[in-house]
Amino acid sequence: MITIKHESLAEFIKNYEANADKQPEQFPDQNERVCPDCGTRYPGNRTICSIEGTVLVQPMQRLGQPLVLLEALKESELAQRYVARAYLGMGLLCSGFEGLSIETVEPVAIKVLRHELADDKKTNARFVIEAQMWQALKHRNIASVLETGLIPELVARATSEQIPWKKDIAYDRPYIVMEHLKGINLKTVLQGYGPLGCELTMRIAVNVLEGLHCAHKQEIVHRDLKPSNIFLLPDEAGRIEVKVSDFGLAARMFRQTEWTPQTTKTGSVYGDPSYLSPEYLIEQKTSARSDIYALGCIMYECISGKSPFAGQHEFHTMIRHVKDRPDALPKHLEVPELLEKTIYRAINKEPSSRFDSAEHMHAHLGTLLTGVHAG
């Protein structure tokens, strides 16, 4: 492990955490009703479907309201081990809650699969299997999953009988309990702090590579490595710990289900287009070298402040990944030639021309940091 000691960045992270606006406690009320027979939606003041003559019910979206889920968590069997205390926010896959382990009195994050996905038993089972793969990864640079499973009957009492049109609906809700990361992600750092410089970028990358190497040894590919999945956690001495989160869970889930949030759709491709490898965009195939490609793009952005394949829109960016050479790193940044070559090697369009493993790239960056040339 290469230590990251950077007092100004550590101070920025601490100040950001202290001053960050809190997430809203709940979503706006769902002021609409739905016909359980034909699915037609109506304003909240309507009571009968004009097509079927059926009594209208509240939409299933009510189950996504944070306070509804929070109260359901407090009454679930999970409450025997964890105290759910507050709503953290909603991601592409899960609603997140701050909690506390009853046994260790340590803070945890409880993530519950969003209701749009958790209405199918096959999807729920797949979520748990993927989460268990992440849970098996034990490494200081990987966010720890403490447990995962299904919470029986995690539904609101007032709505559990109001969604009868789905015959095979699953009322059990998949969840993950993970360590509560006290820091901010790299995306937020780049937006607020700005480019990180060459040495700090390499130190962060080396720590990410240690986590990737652990996963790749177990034949687990992240598939969705991006700055928002890399967390920086400072301590009182100004040292910064790096942890990789969301180990491909969302990428694998969305590739195998019809439901995709509009914000993640670009054709049938899931993921942030700034970090998607050409082989994924062309054939939707990924490997450990796809993670290396994503990290190369992240390193380029950490140094220059922009993507190596920045396009006018998402589709243009994807085309550039497949067809264009990366933009040259600006001369005024004075990026050492060996580091520049390292980044361009990582983002080579041909997987076989990249580093053959996270371990190899880790060793290469390690020697650059100590000023020794690596072949």
The pLDDT, as a whole number, for residue 292 is 97
- CA–CA dist 180, 220 (Å, integer): 23
**Structure tokens belonging to residue 331:** 């001369």
Query: Which residues of the chain are under the pLDDT cut of 50?
Result: 23-30, 63, 156-170, 254, 256-268, 375
The pLDDT, as a whole number, for residue 260 is 43
pLDDT tens digits, 245-290: 988 675 555 454 444 443 344 444 566 889 999 998 888 788 999 9
- Give SS3 for 225: coil
- CA–CA dist 105, 5 (Å, integer): 29
> Could you give the C-alpha distances from 164 to 38, 56, 293, in angstroms and in order?
11, 11, 46
Residue whose token pair is 């009492």: 157
Query: What's the maximum distance between 2 C-alpha atoms anywhere in the chain?
Result: 78
User: Is beta strand 145-151 parallel, antiparallel or unpaired with respect to 32-34?
Assistant: unpaired
- CA–CA dist 166, 115 (Å, integer): 13
Task: Given the residues 119, 224, 272, 291, select the one marked as catalytic.
Answer: 224
- CA–CA dist 131, 99 (Å, integer): 19
Torsion of CA 252, 312, 185, 328, to 10 degrees: 110
Strand partners, 94: 113
Active-site residue, 324 included: no
The pLDDT, as a whole number, for residue 94 is 84
Name the H helices within the chain: 7-19, 66-74, 121-135, 186-192, 198-217, 249-255, 278-283, 288-304, 314-323, 337-346, 358-369
- CB-based contact 224:248 (threshold 8 Å): yes
- CA–CA dist 115, 152 (Å, integer): 14
pLDDT tens digits, 148-206: 988 876 654 434 344 443 444 446 788 999 999 988 999 999 999 999 999 999 999 99
The pLDDT, as a whole number, for residue 3 is 76
**Going from the N-terminus, what domains does the chain have, and what CATH number goes with each?**
7-15+183-258+270-369 (1.10.510.10), 60-179 (3.30.200.20)
CA 87 to chain centre: 17
- CA–CA dist 44, 33 (Å, integer): 5
